[in-house]
Amino acid sequence: MKQMRWDEEADIIIIGSGLSGMAAAAEAAGKAERIVILEKMNYYGGNSVLAGGGYACWDSSLKMRQKLDLGEDSWELHMKDTLKGGGDYGFPELVRVMAEGAPSGLDWIAESGVEFKDVLVRLGCHSAARSYQSKSSGKAMMDHIKARVLSTGVELRLNHEVTGIVRDPESGEVNGLEVNNEGKTIRIFARKAVILASGGFGNDVKLRTEQNPVLNDVLPCTNHKGATGEVIRYAKAIGADSVHMEFVQLYPCASPSTGSVDRWAFYAYSGAGFGMIYVDENGKRFISELAGRDEISKAQLDSCKKPTWAIFNHEIMDSLLMGMDEVEDGIKFGRMVKAESIKELEEKLGITKGGLTRTVERINDALKSSGPDPDFGGERVRGMLKLETGPFYAIAQWPSVHYTMGGLRINENAMVIDVFGKPIARLYAAGEVCGGIHGANRLAGNALAECVVFGRIAGENAASEPTRQAAQTT
């Protein structure tokens, strides 16, 4: 057989410079001589730099649960919530790996210099408050992690777009990659392994509508421009299997004007566990705020006019550790509305007269009596606050394509599985490029946990592969 001519070699080649790629590189550093991260964009970080910094974790060395006296939690409960929230489509063996490994993953982020707020948030479909919130933005978090990774000698190359994965037809091993750099094709041989950490396909309208025709170009997208999924296609071209590609999540609290997820969108979603309510143009709640993102988004699109509103007061704001500077910026940029009374808030939002007042009264009565949710059943939970004293606030929100739960099939060792159910030798994957973990709906905070946990597994296992030499390098 004619040998491919390689232009260069590296021990481990990682596609994608987001959190999963960085975690993989960090774990492999010191165990492999040359590690190269390839990023097709002219910036690093992918969707990770846009993240709100929420990390779902049942425990950590920060011991936040104990500090805040929030009771017990466990990896088993985290796993159970994840499976249930995903409609039981998730693969239990993968969910278990994520849930069990989440604490050490959070510790790894903290060791990189990322600080976390003294709060744990309960988010939709989680049965406990377990979302750690970083003090910094996703970009600042990733800057800390990038600095840590690059200090080990890992090489990061921007503007390097993968155009093909090379798999040896005889041995079945993945040998390397074909890469386009400013119009020039480069073939890089992997002496140990290739790791796919290229993210999802939320910004590839053609691919997402092929999986789910409802997700057309009318819907905006929260993702960065490079979330286009071609690496999934290249992996499938060499025999990789995919799973759950039809499951695409909308973020219900995105900016109605831009479709982006900004800091106010994160607050609108995080406030549900503290008593924030979501209402329509009539001031009526249209869903339980602790429902899954998929359920909330569907309710908005099915029965509401754009936009819906997240309603809260200063006590909920304080519980979220939301600063007055953020409130002032929100008002300045038109993302927030402030009023001294519910009646005034109704008028400012153009809500049907008396609609919001009646909704708030019903919620407050239920909280006073510790009764069930007056609109959707189920108990109002510990930590929820009454909307009694002003000032009151509203954040506009509307669904936007946010996360693709489907992707390449992997096993517990982060190895990519082929269409015959066998691992593809020397090919690993981590992060949103993978499917099978979140099922039909991803729970908030699980994305960062998945990226770190499986990224580190991929890096460790790739580094342990035996070193080989290219048949021919030019």
Q: Which two tokens stand for residue 424?
A: 């593809």
User: How far apart are alpha carbons 310 and 353 in whole angstroms?
Assistant: 17
Q: Which residues contact 244 (CB under 8 A, 6 or more apart)?
A: 89, 405, 406, 407, 435, 436, 438, 439, 440
Q: In what order do the strands lie in the sheet with 116-121?
A: 54-56, 131-134, 116-121
Q: Within a 10 A sphere around the Cβ of 281, how many other Cβ atoms? A: 16
Q: Which residues contact 370 (CB under 8 A, 6 or more apart)?
A: 379, 380
55 forms beta bridges with: 132
Q: Which two tokens stand for residue 159?
A: 């503007």
Determine if residue 342 is left, alpha or beta; phi over 0 gives left, psi from -120 to 50 gives alpha, anything else beta: alpha
Backbone phi and psi for residue 150, each to the nearest 5 degrees, phi listed first: -70, -25
User: How far apart are alpha carbons 53 and 56 in whole angstroms?
Assistant: 10
> Considering only CA atoms, which of 90, 77, 15, 177 is closest in space to residue 410?
90
> Considering only CA atoms, which of 428, 263, 228 is closest in space to residue 335?
263
Q: Find out whether 378 and 422 touch, Cβ atoms under 8 Å.
A: no
User: How far apart are alpha carbons 50 and 403 in whole angstroms?
Assistant: 12
Residue type, 8: E
Sign of the Cα pseudo-torsion (37, 39, 45, 50, in order):
negative
Q: Tell me whether residue 382 is one of the annotated catalytic residues.
A: no
Q: Which of 187, 191, 208, 293 is catalytic?
A: 293
Q: Which two tokens stand for residue 280?
A: 């329509």
Q: Which residues contact 206 (CB under 8 A, 6 or more apart)?
A: none
User: Which residues form the catalytic set?
Assistant: 293
